[in-house]
Amino acid sequence: MPVITINKNDELMMSLAHYFITKKNYVPINVQGARDEIWLENIEGPYRVIRINAKNIYNDEQYDMDIFKIRFILKQIKRKTLSFKVPTLNICLNLNNKVNLNNRFNINTIKVESYEEIKENNYLVNAFPDIKDNILESNNNLDLIINVTNDISKKTEKSNKFFEKVFSPKKIIVTKLIILINIIVFLLMYLLGNGSTDTQTLLLFGANYGPLVKSGEVYRLITCAFLHIGIIHLLVNMYSLSIIGSQIESYLGKLKFIVIYLVSALSGSLFSLIAGNSISAGASGAIFGLLGSLLYFGYHYRLYLNSVLKSQIIPIIVLNLVISFLVPGIDALAHIGGLIGGYLVTMALGIEQRSQKKDQINGFIVLILYLAFLTFMVFFY
């Protein structure tokens, strides 16, 4: 059997890449023209980007050029991920001792030339305390290559399966059920009342109206989201719900979708009552909540949904908010309230393998405070 040998720098690069990918959920970044270097990214990591560089850097001029190159690539990453800051760890494996290492532009550069230095480096140990026990070492180059390749392949396969689980088409039930309920209620308003544009019929079926809500009929904060004023209002909202609702139900699951929809409807109804006591109805507050939820989801999957987030989700939200303020008769406050509520409740519920526990706790606390503030403004102010 032929003897396979790799130099020390390549061995360290493979071991570091193995650790960050398999233990810390970093994913490789495809950097065009990159040779003898590996770029890794984890949006939730202590360092957003880790670059492992095995190239020779002999003097300060080469180091300055290297930093310039890193900054150029980071600008592209910022645009792609809608980020203002990208904390970066630049690990150099072949750096001359005479080079003046000065951390700048949110880039921390360290030099490591052995496993011992990896385990003793303050930047690495402080950010990744378990690196001492999980860095892969081997005296056999072939074993190292096999282990690294197998482990990274397993990790990639697992990530691909989860990605497929999230984005694969699913049977949409709850969204269709809500649409059906809205249609049935709309027809009942004509069968049992005087139609969807009649004030008394709207109030009878549970439209949002400040004096009645404040007198104890708080159920109107939810029931109003299943009423519509006129056929155009119904058709526009149901079309929007069929598109946006199907995505949220598919991405986050049916139970979370129900919670997001109802909390968004409640938030929109409360926000609507802050500035007025006119009769209001419609699912648009809840639909804007779904848009807020989609915004939160898209942000956490922006590595995969970058173009969708920038070209579709954000423009749709902005356009609809603008229309809400420009077109008479539209309850813009309900839209804003629903949007905020949907974003916060999704933050509280969390996104599988993307949300950290502290983010969910913060989201829950902010959501409760937000709803408490709206309740106080409506009922006690």
List active site positions: 284, 335
Give the strand order in the sheet containing 107-111.
27-28, 37-41, 49-53, 88-92, 107-111
Q: Give the span between the Cα atoms of 197 and 116, in whole angstroms.
A: 76
Nearest CA-CA partner of 54 in 33, 69, 34: 34
Radius of gyration of the chain (CA): 27
**Cβ(378)–Cβ(272) below 8 Å:** no
Q: Give the span between the Cα atoms of 127 and 260, in whole angstroms.
A: 35
Q: Which single residue is written with the structure tokens 């984005």?
A: 167
Token pair for residue 227?
Answer: 């009423």
**Could you tell me if residue 329 is left (phi over 0), alpha (psi between -120 and 50 degrees) or otherwise beta?**
left
Q: Give the span between the Cα atoms of 50 and 163, in whole angstroms.
A: 22
Q: Give the span between the Cα atoms of 95 and 53, in whole angstroms.
A: 9
Query: What do you get for the CA distance between the two ends of the chain, in Å?
Result: 83
Which residues face 111 on adjacent strands? 92
Burial of 95 per CB tally in 10 Å (0-12, 13-18, 19+): buried
**Cβ(140)–Cβ(151) below 8 Å:** no
